[in-house]
A and B are shown apart, each in its own frame.
Chain A
Amino acid sequence: MNNFEYKQAEDIATAINLISEQDNTKFLAGGTNLLDLWKYNLTNPSGLVDINRIHGLAEIKELSNGGVRLGANFKNADTAYHPIIENKYPLLSKAILAGASAQIRNMASNGGNLLQRTRCYYFYDPDVPCNKRNPGSGCPAKEGYNRIHAILGTSDHCIAVFPSDMCVALAALNALVNVEGAEGKRTIAFADFHRLPGDRPDLDNNLKPGELITSIDLPDKGFAQNYSYLKLRDRHSYAFALVSVATALELDGEMIKDARIALGGVAHKPWRSTEAENFLRGKSANESNFAAAADIILQDAKGYGHNDFKIALAKKAIIRNGLMALNPQSQLPGAKPSA
């Protein structure tokens, strides 16, 4: 547990080199999830490469295509409160502020937010099987206490959910993830970044070993007029989502020109449904159309007992959030549910 080597990298190349030198070395940014897991003996890195001092990663800048680049080391709180984000991408701001606590948002990096591990009870208990933690050992959640677990995109091997709020908004906004590794740089569309569990639930995302997230690009379109992030949970703050919904609408009068709906707390990744979004295009922005969209999104939803309620809750949340997006002022701080 304690035997990790700690090294600080001052630039990206050094960081990537340090990672590739040794197996089981991890990048350390905010540390809010990695150190949590390490203290529980759920991860045992042989080395930590502290990337906090890498020049240029803790920035936010406007891009020539009208979009914005969020540095991987830029903090969650700084992102949420940045004037560009507040004005142009208020959905992202809302989603970030719905997650964790003020202290954690001050510590957590944007890159690290994408790499959070699940909060599945069984993943967090080293004394029980878990395919994500210990491939091939089984998934106790399926027949166990699965109140917080997934209803969409599950597999026989894993029904864990991805816990981020920020990423639900990033998914809705079609963000791009810029990564760099030993083989060079590449850009991953947000929808392709996280993965469904399938038969490899140990893999949360499609990063290659040793690749470092350097930044996240937000496209020009920010849906600043009609957006809403709704997070439903077991207490009013500082709890992971039972269900969350990011809704972004582009309206022409009452008609929906473009719609994005992403769900959190329901799957192994932020959940998007192109079919539902296509359905909404050209339709009136009203309760019945949001309900129909919800039915499309949830058509393959499957409960595992304790989480059956999430299907009904998700439908209500999608409808309600669609209506809230029509009047973003109806949202209260911290993504509180009621006006």
Chain B
Amino acid sequence: MRSETQNLNHLKQGDCTVNLTVNGEQKILQVQPWVSLLDGLRDHLNLTGTKKGCDHGQCGACTIICDDKRILSCLTLAVMKNGSEITTVEGIAHGNELHPIQQAFIDHDAFQCGYCTPGQLCSAIGLIKEGKAQTREEVKELMSGNLCRCGANIGIIDAIMEVKAGGGHE
């Protein structure tokens, strides 16, 4: 069995304090500078809704909303985002009231295994907020940073088109 001091070894490696507002709550992360925002959320704040699919910015599963923009949490160091406001899949509903995109994902069966879904949802919210995609093809193009290996693509795009058409929502 290892001693307590050995267990704390990692803390010697230059921890940084990172202040974040995550899903509306103030959080303080004590992490080494090389901890990605993704691992910070998952391993340190136990917000495991955000997923690691490739860890290299090639699948979109780790997409979160940071200061109103969709970004990849795997290619971001947590320390870079000190003072930022972050929304993850756990924070997109308002209490028990689902975000319209969440309901639309259920209605359109826009997922199967569900692993890419948190990233798809955050990306969709980012896309709608950006307001750059008008046509179905444009939505597809601007959602192409989120891979779905189950092939739920049609449902994903249908869901976004429906919410866009509904308008008004963020």
Give yes or no for direct A-B contact (beta carbon below 8 Å): yes
- Interface size class on chain A is 20 to 34
CA distance A32 to B13 in the complex (A): 24
Residues from chain B with Cβ under 8 Å of A102 in the complex: 70, 123, 126-127, 130, 142-143, 145
Contact pick for A101, options B16, B60, B130, CB 8 Å: B60
A166 contacts the other chain (Cβ, under 8 Å)?
no
Residues from chain B with Cβ under 8 Å of A4 in the complex: 33-34
Spot the interface stretch: B75-83, B93-101, B158-166. Answer: B75-83
Mark out the residues of chain A between 88 and 108 whose CB falls within 8 Å of any chain B CB in the assembled complex: 100-104, 106-107
Tell me the smallest distance from the CB of B92 to a CB of chain A, in Å: 16
Q: Known contacts A103-B63, A333-B141: does B76 contact A2 (CB below 8 Å)?
A: no
Interface pair A35/B75, CB less than 8 Å apart: yes
Interface pair B77/A35, CB less than 8 Å apart: yes
Tell me the smallest distance from the CB of A337 to a CB of chain B, in Å: 13
Q: Known contacts A36-B75, A333-B137: does B145 contact A100 (CB below 8 Å)?
A: yes
Residues from chain A with Cβ under 8 Å of B32 in the complex: 2
Tell me the smallest distance from the CB of B125 to a CB of chain A, in Å: 12
CA distance A72 to B130 in the complex (A): 22
Q: Known contacts A2-B34, A5-B14, A36-B75: does B56 contact A101 (CB below 8 Å)?
A: no
B76 to chain A: closest residue by CB = A31
Residues from chain A with Cβ under 8 Å of B145 in the complex: 100-104, 238
Tell me the smallest distance from the CB of A276 to a CB of chain B, in Å: 31
Interface pair A101/B144, CB less than 8 Å apart: yes
Tell me the smallest distance from the CB of A234 to a CB of chain B, in Å: 13
B42 contacts the other chain (Cβ, under 8 Å)?
no
Tell me the smallest distance from the CB of A220 to a CB of chain B, in Å: 27
Chain A interfacial positions (CB closer than 8 Å to B): 1-2, 4-6, 28, 31-32, 35-36, 39-40, 48, 50, 52, 77, 81, 100-104, 106-107, 236-238, 332-334, 336
10 extra A-B contacts, CB within 8 A, seeds A36-B56, A101-B144:
A2-B34, A6-B33, A36-B57, A100-B145, A102-B143, A102-B145, A103-B60, A103-B126, A104-B75, A334-B144
